[in-house]
Amino acid sequence: MKRTPGTSEIPVNGEGFVRIEEMEEGYPVVVVDTELCRAKIAVWGAHLFSFVPKGKGERLFLSEKALFEPGKAIRGGIPLCWPWFGARKEEKGPSHGFARNSLFEFLGWEREGGGTVVLRFSLENDEEKRRLWPFDFRLEISFRLGETLAVEMKTYNVDDVSWSVSQALHTYFSVDDIERVSIEGLEGCRYLDQLTGETALQKGVVRFSEEVDRIYEGRVSPLRLLDGKGCVTIESEGSRSCVVWNPWIEKSSRLPDMGREGYRRMVCVETANVRDDTVTLEPGSSHTLSVKYVWSD
């Protein structure tokens, strides 16, 4: 990653840095390196695509074929699905909304006690986006980067009419082998199987031996995602729906930026507000969707 001249390098009290680099022309990335962790966040989409606690391995999956291009979502890390989740039924617009394809504003960062750094990004409407979604909004994203990772997505209705959003933190977790993965905490939950359109109740822990694309309903926190090398606890607030996805072989072959074997090393567990959990905001109100990931291995 080349450093553009005049890149703002901001020492973090001598223990590392937060700096803006340009991966390509017009593609700024915020690089964080402290005594607690390293991380990279593309300003396009406010998209965290790497998080490495010091002395540990990469915690997020990133496809070897991921694209880093303005206006295109990165295949991996934490894409932001907003202001709608999934495909738009009756209107035009990109799958999972426009936030992940938009250039955010990097508002800056601050250091908290103990070495954690907090980075903040924002997005507001403009003429192009308004053609897709004609409401005045402010979307603020913050990342709390230390030994653990926390993400907060705060939506403000700054319009004089109410509107609704469906949203998700579409997190791609790195796993050693999908067939050794299990998810605890969803036992007995009702879910919509997006592959069949059927609803069912989760029997036991979630395991993977084929494509899985499910929307679980209800307050599902904390969850535990386990694989052969460790466990990550997923603690969410402001969410009563969770999406679990692995594309498996056939779907992966239809995703040009997924790579053939990528599905074996990833699983998406997405903290969301979707379907009956869609959020309606009155003028002047706001909603916060937040999640904290704690790894142990």
Residues that bind ligand TA6 (CB under 6 A): 73, 86, 95-96, 170, 194, 213, 243, 245, 268, 270
Q: How far is the CB of 243 from ligand TA6 (least distance, A)?
A: 5
Q: How far is the CB of 79 from ligand TA6 (least distance, A)?
A: 6
Q: How far is the CB of 161 from ligand TA6 (least distance, A)?
A: 28
The catalytic residue among 64, 170, 250, 282 is: 170
Dihedral sign for Cα atoms in the order 42, 47, 49, 53:
positive
> Closer CB to ligand TA6, residue 33 or residue 245?
245
The catalytic residue among 210, 270, 282, 287 is: 270
DSSP notation for 91-110:
S---TT-SGGGSB-EEEEEE
Q: Residue 62 in contact with residue 39, Cβ under 8 Å? A: no
The per-type count for the chain, helices as H runs and strands as E runs, is 2, 24
Q: How far is the CB of 126 from ligand TA6 (least distance, A)?
A: 22
> Closer CB to ligand TA6, residue 86 or residue 230?
86
> Closer CB to ligand TA6, residue 120 or residue 170?
170
What is the rounded CA–CA span in Å between residue 253 and residue 244? 19
> Closer CB to ligand TA6, residue 19 or residue 88?
88
35 as an active site residue: the answer is no
DSSP notation for 64-85:
TT----TTS--SBSB-EE-S--
270 as an active site residue: the answer is yes
DSSP H helices, 21-63, are none
Which residues are the active-site residues? 170, 270
